[in-house]
Amino acid sequence: METVTFGWWRWRWCHALGRNPLVRTSDRIEAMIAAMAVAAVLVAIPIAAAMATAIHDERGQAYAAEAERHVQITATVTQASPTLPRTNVSVVQAAWDFGGTEHVGRFQWDKPVRAGQNIDIVVDQDGRRMVPLDPWWRAGLDGTIAAITFWLAVAGVAAGSVAIARPCLRRMRYAAWDRDIASLADDGGTTNRHG
C-alpha cells in the first residue's frame, strides 16, 4: 500500500476551507489571514521591482546631470599636513587653474601626499572644488536597497500580522471549545437527571 504524505500546510488549508463541521470560524479566519499575508508578500515582489527601476532611472539621470556640471582637473599640492593618526587622511592646500583663473583651496585628502604632487580633483563650472561624484553604479545600488527594504517591510508586517493573529484566534478557539464542552457536560447531566 502506498502512502501519500501531505505537508501540514496543505492539510490545514483543506481542513480550514472544507465543509467539516468541526472546523471553527477561527480556523477559517486564521487560514484567510495566512493567505492574505502570503498574497501581500507575493504582490510586493513586482512592486519592489518597479520601485527599483524607477529609483535607478531617477538617480541615474540625476548623477548624469551632476556629472555634466562637474569637471575633473589636475591640481598641484602646495602644502600637506602629516596624515591624521590611525588614518591616511591629511589636510592639503592645492592650487589649480580653471577657465584662466587661478584657484586655491584647503581640504582633506584620503591619501598621503607631499608638496609639488599632482592630484585629480572635481570642480564645478565656476572652478570651485566639489566633493567627488558618486560612481554611476550607485543608482542601481540605491534602487536595489530601496526595493529590498520595501519588500522586507511588507514581509515583516505580513509575518507580524500572522504572529499576532494566531494566539488571539487560538484563545478564541479554546474558549469556544470550553463553552461547547461545558454545554455538553450540562446537557449530559440534565439528561441523566431526567432519564
Q: What distances in angstroms separate CA 127 from CA 67, 97, 100, 119, 162, one per listed residue?
A: 14, 8, 10, 15, 58
* Those residues with Cβ within 8 angstroms of residue 56's Cβ, 6 or more apart along the chain or in another chain: 139, 140, 142, 143
% of the chain beyond a pLDDT of 90: 24
> The whole model's pTM is what?
0.60
What does the pLDDT average to over 110-124? 85
**In whole angstroms, how large is the CA radius of gyration of the chain?**
34
**What's the confidence (pLDDT) of residue 38?**
92
Please check the confidence at residue 33 and state whether its pLDDT lies above 70: yes
Please check the confidence at residue 14 and state whether its pLDDT lies above 70: no
User: Residue 164's pLDDT band (boundaries 50, 70, 90)?
Assistant: very high
Q: Which span out of 85-94, 146-155, 179-188 was modeled with the highest average pLDDT?
A: 146-155
Please check the confidence at residue 132 and state whether its pLDDT lies above 90: no
**What's the confidence (pLDDT) of residue 109?**
82
Write down the mean pLDDT value for the chain. Answer: 81
Copy the grid coordinates of residue 187. Answer: 446537557
**What's the confidence (pLDDT) of residue 18?**
66
**What's the confidence (pLDDT) of residue 4?**
47
